[in-house]
Amino acid sequence: MGVKLGILGLGTVGTGTVQLLQDLVGRHPLLQEIEIYRVGVRSLSKPRAVELPEGIITTDLEAIVNDPTVDIVVEVMGGLEPARSLILKALSHGKHVVTANKAAIARFGAEIFTAANQAGVYVMLEAAVGGGIPVIQPLKQSLSVNQINAVTGIVNGTTNYILTRMQTEGSNFDDVLADAQKLGYAEADPTADVDGLDAADKIAILASLGFGGRIHLEDVYCEGIRQVSKTDIAYAEKLGFAIKLLAIAKRTFSSPSSPLSVRVHPTLVPKAHPLASINGVYNAILVEGEPIGQVMFFGPGAGAGATASAVSADILNLVATLKTSTTNPNPLLACRHQDYCEIAPIAELVTRFYARFLTKDRPGVIGKLGTCFGNFGVSLESIVQTGFQEELAEIVVVTYDVQEGNFRQALAEIRNLEAIDSIPSILRVL
């Protein structure tokens, strides 16, 4: 007998998944065991890019998760509610769940995984981070014997696509965002991409897997890419950096029990660093651990086909599990976390900074900037004054490593200098 799927959602990811499952030549033979049994959508009148037998598409999603004949529920509808309630209902009826919904997992993971463990079923989420890149299963299985020190990634395809096109073509932010939406990369509300919230959800999930504890989403420091201007991209280029939206989860000290720093922000990445050359919709996740050293996962981070690959691999894993039907849960597929990780406040972060100042064009301004920085122990790696914006001089500094709190105090003093007009950008440097 076939394994019956109830798919919630037939948008970019749902359609890509159905297309993959309808075209089985050259793929794993176990996929032939799968039956697309029901597909839940919002609107029956919308044209669809896939053909399904009559009666399969429905707007009654509750009926899908309550149907005793459905074995696996594939949640690719997105959003928080009703996605959360439908996942919980599916679990309570003993169904395995595959989801691409990082927003729901990052917020309701504790509730969802507890319900799954109680019901003795699995929640699979490979598509939720890095789209088609296998990164969830490697962290849960292949790398799980390592002590993880850092996970650093470009985990949002939309913003990487926008930054790449701004950098290579000098394109306008809004035009490129519209293209990312047309290509199916962006979230239903692209604010989640642009403001770094999608990347924050993803790094919370990766941190939880890498460091073996739950993460309170509100502890994840988050800045998006709205403040990144063409001017900063050009300065970064001249100084030997690419600007990337990085998601970082890192131990603050080398001890395996030290607190974590978990953050998302645009970052100047040295051109020689492997993450600097990850462009377009591609994502990459660099994992550092002991004894493995460094390992990097790279591939398409969004889009129908790539994400369908991850969703379908999770489905396949569950089909294999259902076929072998052991009574003891597989601890490498289940979630084992009970406690929350300790997260250090952003003010304690030690990092380099890039800052761009607009100042009155008069002698001694650079000296005054240097004095204010010096007062708070901030050493400067470079300071350049190359351009003008109307009558204002533009000064760019890159610091050495400094505690964020000290840097912010120096900036507060600098803002009060009579010669300073504004500080249009402050970015961290990897």
Ligand X SMILES: N[C@@H](CC=O)C(=O)O
CA 224 to chain centre: 12
9 has binding-site annotation: yes
Q: Does 407 bind ligand X (CB under 6 A)?
A: no
DSSP per-residue codes, 269-335? EETTSGGGG--TTEEEEEEEEETTEEEEEEEE-SSHHHHHHHHHHHHHHHHHHHHH--SS--TTTS-
In whole angstroms, give the CA distance from residue 332 to residue 287.
19
Nearest to 316 by CA among 64, 51, 122, 89: 122
Applying CB under 6 A, among 23, 24, 28, 46 the residue interacting with ligand NDP is: 46
CA 210 to chain centre: 14
120 has binding-site annotation: no
In whole angstroms, give the CA distance from residue 155 to residue 338.
25
Q: Does 153 bind ligand NDP (CB under 6 A)?
A: no
Which residue shows structure tokens 């789209």? Answer: 131
In whole angstroms, give the CA distance from residue 332 to residue 74.
20
| Cα radius of gyration (the chain) | 24
Applying CB under 6 A, among 88, 100, 115, 203 the residue interacting with ligand NDP is: 100
Residue 133 contact, options Na ion, ligand NDP, ligand X, none, Cβ 5-8 Å cut-off depending on partner type: Na ion
Q: Where are the beta strands (DSSP E) in 83-146?
A: 96-99, 123-124
Closest approach, Cβ 387 to ligand X, in A, equals 32
In whole angstroms, give the CA distance from residue 352 to residue 429.
5
Residue nearest to ligand NDP (CB): 11
Residue 158 contact, options ligand NDP, ligand X, Na ion, none, Cβ 5-8 Å cut-off depending on partner type: ligand X
Closest approach, Cβ 308 to ligand X, in A, equals 12
In 14-46, which positions are buried (b, 16+ CB within 10 angstroms) versus exposed (e)?
bbbbbebbeeeeeeeeebeebebbbbbbeeeee
Residue 126 contact, options ligand NDP, ligand X, Na ion, none, Cβ 5-8 Å cut-off depending on partner type: Na ion
Q: Which residues 182-221 are close enough to bind ligand X by CB under 6 A?
A: 185-187, 193, 198
Identity of residue 322: L
Residue 411 contact, options Na ion, ligand X, ligand NDP, none, Cβ 5-8 Å cut-off depending on partner type: none
Please state the three-class secondary structure of 27-73 as a single string.
Answer: CCHHHHHEEEEEEECCCCCCCCCCCCCCCCEECCHHHHHHCCCCCEE
By CB under 6 A, which span of 17-25, 73-81, 108-116, 338-346 interacts with ligand NDP? 73-81
DSSP state of 336: -
Q: Does 6 bind Na ion (CB under 5 A)?
A: no
Q: Does 16 bind ligand X (CB under 6 A)?
A: no
DSSP state of 111: H
| Catalytic residue ranges | 202
Residue 193 contact, options ligand X, Na ion, ligand NDP, none, Cβ 5-8 Å cut-off depending on partner type: ligand X
By CB under 6 A, which span of 4-12, 88-96, 385-393, 395-403 interacts with ligand NDP? 4-12
Looking at the Cβ atoms of 185 and 298, the one nearer to ligand NDP is: 185
Closest approach, Cβ 281 to ligand NDP, in A, equals 8
Q: Does 187 bind ligand NDP (CB under 6 A)?
A: yes
191 has binding-site annotation: no
By CB under 6 A, which span of 154-162, 165-173, 239-247, 331-339 interacts with ligand X? 154-162
Looking at the Cβ atoms of 11 and 138, the one nearer to ligand NDP is: 11
Residue 12 contact, options Na ion, ligand NDP, ligand X, none, Cβ 5-8 Å cut-off depending on partner type: ligand NDP
Which residue shows structure tokens 């965002």? Answer: 177
Looking at the Cβ atoms of 208 and 399, the one nearer to Na ion is: 208
Applying CB under 6 A, among 163, 194, 302, 427 the residue interacting with ligand X is: 302
Q: Does 75 bind ligand X (CB under 6 A)?
A: no
Q: Which two tokens stand for residue 361?
A: 């064009």
Applying CB under 6 A, among 6, 14, 190, 266 the residue interacting with ligand NDP is: 14
Positions that interact with ligand X (CB under 6 A): 131, 156-158, 185-187, 193, 198, 301-302
Binding residues for NADP(+): 8-15
Positions that interact with Na ion (CB under 5 A): 126, 130, 133, 135, 310
